[in-house]
């Protein structure tokens, strides 16, 4: 019997396990479907190229065919190991815009304004630049400047300035708009996932049990209270009990999937999958949001990129030695070195576009190795606050069935128009004088792509996810809300969700740091609830003691 059972050892789950197990009197069990994070390429930043292809450390999800993307089924990679997607992402440390969190609070979620969540961002962080009003030191998540940015990434910054964007040295500072280099969740040139940062020391605690290879099957209920989790390990069904709470941290795809497999969700959807309805909750799996991304690519006339070339191949052994001995060289690259935030139109109050610059030729999540052969560079652009909404559905009652992902990209026309403006701004940056010494030919988009109609078709043909799905167990009190502002599942006891799925709105930036913040804040909520329960229990005991009849003592 454990006090807390956590499902999913990803960006949020590792944080929760580490924070809750700080109390030696609390017993915590952390379940993870994937293996331990022992493969060396997980910890080598450039290993992201391999992680995209792994059949073991990647869930390899795909969407259903997307109507507004010419019917394409999009690849959605997600991490499947300790650390989850923080063990396979591009390590970009980004919080989003402060307004994003203020909007969460305005939607009826007290305690989630930027002022409220900033202390949790700071608590998790070890900012190598030092402390400030907006940054913390001493936290488990190391945040560092890039050790070996490519020449082309620095050129991108010059080009962005020439295109009218300001220079920005800190996208998590006072202003978000501008161009610069990402700060990364790295330490000594190596990946700092939540497993490496939060779980490394915590896993030595006797009150924390980590079970890998444990595929969650369902949440176990007694009445309306969650009391445990049933999971499958090595083909055998097992069950683990939770005396206090079950905590779902399986992410925006699998937290709603597990709720539905447990009979919690929209009645019609559960009945269609032949799952007995335990608790009807219409919003489970709804409100799916993601950043759609499209890439502009040019070849490079000089041998200075990180592409697959004779030069980089011959220097591979040298760069591997540099990485092994000092954590320097191209193997420390996260692949997306340059960053930019911009407004697609002057009337926008805050940036609504984000750029990721890569000093290599990229296509289809780097799965197209042939496209990467040769020198080149790529500029991603995405619409930060899409209006389109999708959903996660079940493909059946088998927990091994991959979920039915319907992103519904561009179903709101406004999203396409912002993408069009984003592509035009990206091409303006790529055409800036700073790139003149390097620019070869344009690989993407092919052809002139000069009219709005041609840009729209380019987006339909080439746009992909930039890996930020959120919102499928949204926080709030409206009819589609799944959890309240304390992250407790509506209508149930002893069950919370604490991951990207609780975001009511997608933040304007990369989502890993916000997910870590959510788990940090959740840990304090859970600890506070435990203290309140203990105090209530002590008070009840006192009252019962006071109400007991006093036995008269005999007189001598």
d(CA 284, CA 494): 17
Query: 16 and 223 in contact (C-beta within 8 Å)?
Result: no
Catalytically active residues are 468
Which H/E stretch holds residue 120?
helix 114-124
DSSP assignment of 273-339: TT---SEE-TTTT-SBB--EEEEEEEEESSS-SSSB-HHHHHTHHHHHHHHHHHS-SGGG--S--EE
Q: What is the 3-state secondary structure (H, E, C) of 389-437?
A: CEEEECCCCCCCCCCEEECCCCCCHHHHHHHHHHHHHHHHHHCCHHHCC
Query: 76 and 64 in contact (C-beta within 8 Å)?
Result: no
Which H/E stretch holds residue 537?
helix 512-547
Nearest alpha-carbon partner for 372 in 439, 319, 302, 300: 300
Nearest alpha-carbon partner for 135 in 119, 118, 122, 120: 122
d(CA 477, CA 278): 20
Output the six-digit token pair for 14. 């590792």
Query: 183 and 143 in contact (C-beta within 8 Å)?
Result: yes
Query: 240 and 29 in contact (C-beta within 8 Å)?
Result: yes
d(CA 420, CA 45): 32
d(CA 11, CA 123): 15
d(CA 154, CA 252): 34
Output the six-digit token pair for 91. 């390590």
Q: Is 385 left (phi over 0), alpha (psi -120 to 50) or beta?
A: beta
d(CA 514, CA 291): 15
């Amino acid at each position: 019997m454990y006090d807390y059972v956590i499902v999913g050892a990803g960006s949020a789950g590792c944080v929760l396990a580490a924070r809750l197990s700080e109390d030696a009197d609390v017993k915590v069990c952390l379940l993870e479907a994937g293996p331990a994070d022992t493969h060396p390429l997980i910890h080598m930043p450039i290993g992201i190229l391999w992680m995209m292809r792994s059949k073991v450390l990647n869930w390899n999800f795909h969407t259903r065919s997307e109507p507004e993307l010419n019917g394409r089924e999009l690849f959605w990679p997600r991490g499947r190991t300790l650390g989850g997607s923080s063990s396979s992402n591009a390590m970009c440390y980004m919080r989003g815009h402060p307004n994003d969190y203020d909007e969460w609070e305005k939607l009826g979620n007290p305690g989630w304004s930027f002022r409220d969540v900033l202390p949790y961002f700071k608590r998790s962080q070890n900012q190598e630049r030092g402390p400030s009003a907006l940054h913390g030191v001493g936290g488990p998540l190391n945040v560092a400047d890039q050790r070996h940015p490519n020449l082309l990434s620095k050129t991108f910054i010059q080009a962005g300035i020439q295109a009218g964007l300001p220079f920005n040295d800190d996208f998590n500072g006072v202003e978000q708009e501008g161009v610069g280099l990402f700060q990364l969740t790295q330490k000594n040139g190596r990946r700092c996932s939540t497993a490496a940062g939060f779980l490394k020391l915590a896993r030595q605690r006797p009150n924390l049990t980590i079970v890998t290879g444990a595929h969650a099957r369902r949440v176990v209920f007694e009445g309306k209270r969650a009391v445990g989790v049933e999971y499958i390990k090595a083909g055998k069904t097992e069950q683990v009990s939770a005396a206090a709470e079950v905590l779902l941290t399986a992410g925006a795809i699998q937290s709603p999937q597990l709720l539905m497999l447990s009979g919690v969700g929209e009645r019609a959807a559960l009945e269609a999958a032949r799952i007995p309805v335990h608790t009807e909750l219409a919003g489970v799996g709804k409100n799916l949001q993601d950043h759609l991304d499209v890439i502009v690519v040019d070849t490079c006339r000089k041998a200075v990129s990180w592409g697959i070339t004779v030069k980089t191949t011959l220097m591979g052994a040298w760069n591997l030695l540099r990485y092994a001995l000092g954590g320097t060289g191209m193997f420390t690259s996260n692949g997306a070195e340059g960053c930019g935030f911009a407004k697609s139109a002057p009337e926008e109050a805050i940036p609504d576009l984000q750029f990721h610059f890569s000093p290599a030729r990229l296509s289809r999540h780097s799965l197209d190795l042939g496209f990467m052969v040769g020198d080149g560079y790529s500029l991603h652009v995405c619409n930060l606050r899409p209006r389109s909404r999708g959903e996660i559905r079940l493909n059946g009652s088998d927990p091994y069935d991959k979920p039915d992902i319907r992103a519904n990209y561009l179903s709101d026309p406004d999203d396409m128009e912002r993408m069009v403006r984003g592509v035009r701004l990206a091409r303006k940056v790529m055409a800036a004088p700073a790139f003149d010494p390097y620019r070869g030919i344009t690989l993407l988009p092919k052809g002139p792509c000069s009219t709005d109609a041609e840009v729209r078709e380019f987006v339909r043909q080439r746009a992909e996810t930039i890996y930020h799905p959120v919102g499928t167990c949204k926080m709030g009190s409206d009819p589609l809300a799944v959890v309240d502002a304390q992250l407790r599942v509506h209508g149930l006891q002893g069950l919370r969700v604490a991951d990207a799925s609780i975001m009511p709105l997608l933040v304007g930036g990369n989502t890993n740091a916000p997910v870590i913040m959510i788990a940090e804040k959740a840990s304090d909520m859970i600890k506070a609830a435990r203290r309140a329960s203990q105090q209530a229990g002590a008070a009840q005991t006192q009252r019962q003691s006071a109400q007991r009849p006093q036995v008269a003592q005999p007189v001598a």
